[in-house]
Structure 1
């Protein structure tokens, strides 16, 4: 399983997204190391499933569906149980991780 966190320079939510990914992995007993990739140009964004910073990909697929890929170097807003957030919660990421495991 490949987990990638796509972010832009100066994103205030990149590290929070990484913490959420690590928490979700820990919850499932997985030792996979997430990769962090900084998107620097609109062309880089267009070549990925980047849907705003941060975007978490599991095997190349957006872990939190519902946002279309964009080419802008922009922030992303997630709808969480606690209201809008600049990063996904661990609870939002667990289903995508489980699906990638086939469970």
Structure 2
């Protein structure tokens, strides 16, 4: 039997922003994640990871800069099983247009998805 925690006590264990130096969207992605956490009232540390080699990209399953993951889940649902790892710029297709950052709603949805499953046995 497990004890379910209240929503206030739930939070993602790991929020990551992955990117490489020189990416114009790397730090804006960090600010976007921090703003999203604040907007929805979730306290969680955000880890900034630099991926500067193809070897590290493969090891970390890096899909390009910037990538945002919550407890290992990419905020772009369609990319979660992508095998295309490497150091390069990442774009997100939103309403038929490419942009350098995912929508804030994708970040919030992934955080809520993770929070709904915190404390639930696998």
TM-score (normalised: structure 1)? 0.88
Structure 2, unaligned runs of 5 or more: 1-12, 118-122
Shift of 1:81: 4.6
Residues 15-61 of structure 1 show CA distances to partners (whole Å, capped at 9, x for unaligned) of 11111111211121012121100001111100113111111011112
User: Residue 90 in 1 paired to residue 104 in 2?
Assistant: yes
The 3 A distance-change label for structure 1 pair 25 and 100 is: same
Give 1:62 deviation, angstroms. 0.9
Residue in structure 2 matching 1:62, options 61, 74, 85: 74
Q: Distance in 2 between matches of 1:70 and 1:48?
A: 12
Query: More deviation in 53-62 or 74-83?
Result: 74-83
**Greater than 6 Å deviation, 4+ residue runs:** none
> 1:27, 1:14 → 2: CA distance?
20
Which protein is bigger by CA-based radius of gyration? 2
Give the strand-richer structure, 1 or 2: 1
Residue number among 85, 88, 111 corresponding to 1:71 in the alignment = 85
Contact 1:54 1:75 in 2 (8 A): yes
RMSD: 1.7
C-alpha change, 1:78 and 1:60, in structure 2 (3 Å) is: same
TM-score for both structures, normalised by structure 2: 0.76
Equivalenced residues, count: 103
